Amino acid sequence: MSTKRRQLRAFDLRHLDPNPELIGVDEAGRGAFAGPVVAAAVLVTREFLEGRWVQENARRINDSKQLTAAEREALYLDFETLAAEGRIHAQIGVASVAEIESENILGATKLAMRRALECIYPPSAFAEPPREPDLFSTAEEVAAFKPPAHARILVDGLHLKHFPYPHLNVVQGDTRSLCIAMASIVAKVQRDRMMTGLDATHPGYGFARHKGYGTEEHREALLKLGRCAQHRDTFLRKLMATRVDPGQLALLENEADSD
């Protein structure tokens, strides 16, 4: 295992104590000009981090942006197998273009992250532990009792204010934490697949190639075709302002405002 990958694994092992589980959270698509923002949450345990798979494969894991599409897809298939075997738990959450417009990109990112985490633990699981059932509990109380979550949550980036889950923010976490890097891969693969699907329903923009980011190809397509329902209006103004003249930009803005 390379020194870098040992550091990722060691970082997670340090942050496990005293919790038996660790959840890494990251997103994909935050800076794109079209398409949803997708977050992923990946739960790992000490047994997994100290197990054979990590020993043999951690060297392959990195920030998703540092990997090729083929490398990400191969790892994603491995993660699916690990999840099916119960060795990890991975979930995604999605915030739509409409939600990005209404909540702004930070609000939509938190929404996607919350949805991913809710598939693993509800926020209430991280609240003050409830009293354990005793001899005086009713049958309904005993049946409904669930022990609180025993997981620490690591979120890539800055601390999230007004977020329902207590968490530790890790700046550049996808290069420091193994489970955050795993989450970055899951989120990126899922979003790339979504954008490839949108390429079929919204042809001509090149979504399958640039995944909604502000490439020159994307700018030229916007000049030719105008916006579609998957474009983020507030982001388009920034994109086109660096490429078109004021008259063309005004036409695009008027078109977006009339929808």
The string of DSSP letters for 177-234 reads -HHHHHHHHHHHHHHHHHHHHHHHHSTTS-HHHHTT---HHHHHHHHHH---TTB-HH
Q: Which domain holds residue 218?
A: 203-258
Q: Are residues 238 and 167 in the same domain?
A: no
Q: Using omega within 30 degrees of 0 as the cis cutoff, is the peptide bond preceding 246 cis?
A: no
pTM (2 d.p.)? 0.85
Contact 116, 109 (CB under 8 A): no
pLDDT for the residue 144? 62
pLDDT for the residue 253? 39
Q: Are residues 164 and 114 in the same domain?
A: yes
Q: Of 171, 196, 221, which closes a domain?
A: 196
Q: Are residues 65 and 111 in the same domain?
A: yes
Q: Are residues 120 and 74 in the same domain?
A: yes
Phi-psi region of 222 (alpha: psi -120 to 50; beta: other; left: phi over 0): alpha
| Residue that has been written with the tokens 């990195």 in this structure | 62
- The number of domains in the chain is 2
pLDDT for the residue 242? 59
Contact 182, 61 (CB under 8 A): yes
Alpha-carbon span 124 to 233, nearest angstrom: 35
| Residue that has been written with the tokens 């100290």 in this structure | 50
Q: Are residues 114 and 137 in the same domain?
A: yes
Q: Are residues 108 and 215 in the same domain?
A: no
Dihedral angle sign, alpha carbons of residues 15, 18, 21, 24? negative
Q: Of 196, 227, 243, which closes a domain?
A: 196
Q: Are residues 166 and 139 in the same domain?
A: yes
Alpha-carbon span 67 to 78, nearest angstrom: 15
Q: Which helix (H) or strand (E) holds 99?
A: helix 97-118
pLDDT for the residue 139? 67
Q: Are residues 235 and 180 in the same domain?
A: no
pLDDT for the residue 146? 61
242: its two tokens: 């660096």
| Residue that has been written with the tokens 């979120």 in this structure | 155
Q: Are residues 156 and 249 in the same domain?
A: no
Q: Are residues 175 and 212 in the same domain?
A: no
CATH number at residue 185: 3.30.420.10
Q: Are residues 137 and 65 in the same domain?
A: yes
Q: Are residues 221 and 189 in the same domain?
A: no
pLDDT in tens, the chain (259 residues): 455 556 899 999 999 988 899 999 999 999 999 999 999 999 999 999 999 999 999 999 999 999 999 999 999 999 999 999 999 999 999 999 999 999 999 999 999 999 999 999 998 888 655 555 555 556 675 566 566 778 999 999 999 999 999 999 999 999 999 999 999 999 999 999 999 999 999 999 999 999 999 899 999 999 899 999 999 998 887 666 655 444 444 443 343 333 3
